[in-house]
Amino acid sequence: MSSIHDAWRHRPTHHKVWALALPMILSNLSIPLVALVDSAVVGHLPHAHQLGAVAVGGMLYTLLAGILGFLRMGTTGFAAQAAGRGDGSALRQVLLQGLLLALGLALLLGALALPFSGFALGLMNPSSALDSLTREFFHTRLFGLPGALANYALVGWFLGNQNARAPLAILLTTNLLNAALSLWFVLGLDWGVVGAARAAVLAEWSGALLGLWLTRSALRRHPGRLDWPALRRWSNWRPLLAVNRDIFIRSLALQGVFFLLTVQGARLGDATVAANALLLNGLLITAYALDGLAHAMEALCGHAIGAGDRLALRRAVTVTGLWALLGSLAFTALFLLGGRLFIDLQSDIAAVRMVAYVYLPYLAVLPPVAMASYLLDGLFIGATRAREMRDAMLIAVALALPLGWWLQGLGNHGLWLAFLCFMLIRGLSLGGLAWRLSRDDAWFSRSP
């Protein structure tokens, strides 16, 4: 307990945490802002299936892009450790490897996306109006996939360098431009649901181009040279690919949970799937805000591990952890006091509002339940220990899926209860693995 108190009182660590976390919180909050704007704009169109199309089409796109989140996570951990060692050449290699992976995976996923969307919508069995509009929205969004994946690699690389200003510029440019264009295209040009998709495509490419331009000044601060022959050797790709493989499996399982949540909601009716989308926007706000602290943990813990500094690692974990707990409790209070207003701002469809009001208590409980999993992900990413992240996610899915099947008789209540249990099990599993590594003083040994 005294070590926790001493770590919490270390002011320089607080300054480092907030120097990284605050810009990332601001930029991260702009991400669900886009979903909120899309929901608010489309939610004021006359039909529930229009809002449902944005919810389902956005979920399908997020599923594809989300399972490739390892491009950011893996890049952050390796870049942070290279920065901790002061290795400018390794930083250049990590950047180029991340961008090459982004391009190759965008081409592969783009080719698989069309048959995937048909299969996914077949499972949901939506109304004909919802089906056709969802396909139009999703197919348009695919044109932005290369830009989105490049942004993952760029943001991760900048975070590993403990540079939060560049990600702030990239994400704010992407997401605020997305919001502005969505308002213009949907309402001003009367393009409807597809206008929201076109806005996202233009914004994602704009953010990627800005990020590439910002790397020039960042590289000048880290002298070194790129070893081109090394990029042709498998041994220089294997560590990055191994970490990304495990994060990919972890991300695939996580996105699968959200996919099943949307599938089951769609089976319960257009109003239910739309209401769940509004509530999940609240979860997105919470997750992206707390992820700002998780990003700080990634960078600071990775740097401490690269430098072999155990005291700095303990201070980073303590300070970010306690701030994340306080933040999660603040979000719970916010949803308890202002939840109905939050729903009303997103939609004026009476049937959707009434369904969403019923399930608001689940949203209020989520922040402190989910907080540990967000933050501990940051610790494992900084340590490039993706295997443990993968195992914890698979444990949570394996236990939550039977529970969800057992609770399906409760309808949407059962769906939300199963989701809460999934998030709780995920955090407990990560916590147990982190405790074991700390007990064995294994954070500074190479991940197996």
DSSP string, 7-71: HHT-HHHHHHHHHHHHHHHHHHHHHHHHHHHHHHHHHTSS-HHHHHHHHHHHHHHHHHHHTTTHH
* Overall average pLDDT of the 213-238 stretch: 76
What is the spatial distance between Cα 392 and Cα 429, in angstroms, rounded to a whole number? Answer: 5
Please check whether residue 156 is in contact with residue 98, taking contact to mean a CB–CB distance below 8 angstroms.
yes
Over the stretch 80-122, which tens digit does the pLDDT of each residue have?
777 777 777 778 888 888 888 888 888 888 788 777 766 666 6
Predicted confidence band of residue 8 (pLDDT cuts 50, 70, 90): confident
Binning pLDDT at 50, 70 and 90, where does residue 448 land? Answer: very low
Maximum average pLDDT range among 38-42, 51-55, 149-153, 442-446: 149-153
pTM of the model: 0.70
Amino acid 2: pLDDT: 61
Closest CA to 140 of 86, 191, 200, 183: 200
For residue 409, pLDDT over 60 is answered with yes
Q: Is the CB of residue 230 less than 8 Å from the CB of residue 193?
A: no
For range 317-345, the mean pLDDT: 90
Whether residue 33 is predicted with pLDDT greater than 70 in this model: the reply is no
* Lowest model confidence (mean pLDDT) among 84-88, 177-181, 432-436: 84-88
CB of 360 closer than 8 Å to CB of 279: yes
Residue of 12, 1, 2 whose CA lies nearest to 316? 12
User: Which of the pair, 272 or 63, is modelled with greater confidence?
Assistant: 272
Would you kindly state where each structural domain of the chain is located, as residue ranges?
2-439
pLDDT of 447 reads 47
